[in-house]
Amino acid sequence: MADFNTMELMISIAARELENGASVGVGTGAPCAAAMLAQKTASPDLVIMFEAGGIRPRLPEMPISVGDSRTFYKASMAGSMGDAMEACSRGFVDYTFLGGAQIDIYGNLNSTVIGDHKKPKVRFPGSGGANDFASFCWKMMVMTPQNTKRFVEKLDFLTTPGWLEGGNSRMESGLPEGTGPYKIITDMAIMDFEPESKRMRVISIHPGHSFENVQENCGFQLLKAGHIEQTAPPTDEELRLLREEIDPYRYVIGR
């Protein structure tokens, strides 16, 4: 098997989560690459949806934004942001991929500011459609590098709801029952959430890493699944598709 980098590994892992016939709301970059890889492997009937309104396109190549004309190529519907968000709120979207500058133990995300909101050290773009996707899609996934600055005990700002304060707090807040964070895919491990407490826990560790290594790069105490698997690396075919058909210019996967 050929060598691979961490981005290729994360994209391959994410693609395997998207079963055939499911629907997924994606942005550009790694989530889009994962959806395209899923379509070209085990999930040819995966329904891809973009925030700007492209629904079920057959992507000819990697788009550069959610409003890129390629996100409407051979689409079932060339709609609007309102159409995309309505589809989420009506329960039509199974998965979404999100990210942020910070994530906490319950999968809440910050993509707004670092520091005080009135006088921040850094100001980010904010929610965009992330709050809507996380609030109404059935399963939210996050793909992100892992370090203690990103995985924090307390967010500087809550942009996107995960399991809020854990337990039943998400449902009690009024968000639809059955929705919420599903899996976190990092460059070191895969995490899910313990069913009762909704705390983040490690379920699989990537080649070359250990649980101790994963914990050292996290700002809060991670739970451990009863059985922690070793993540399967990308196959030769997954790497070929990523490098030759999905992202030949290496915009996302890197060199």
Angle at CA of residue 225, ends 224 and 226, nearest 5°: 115
d(CA 54, CA 43): 19
Structure tokens at 237: 């075919």
For residue 142, the one-letter residue type is V
Angle at CA of residue 112, ends 106 and 116, nearest 5°: 95
Residue of 157, 111, 104 lying closest to 133 (CA atoms): 111
Structure tokens at 197: 């407490």
Residue of 56, 54, 146 lying closest to 99 (CA atoms): 146
Structure tokens at 216: 């050292």
Active site positions, annotated:
51
Q: State the residue for tokens 């009762």.
A: 196
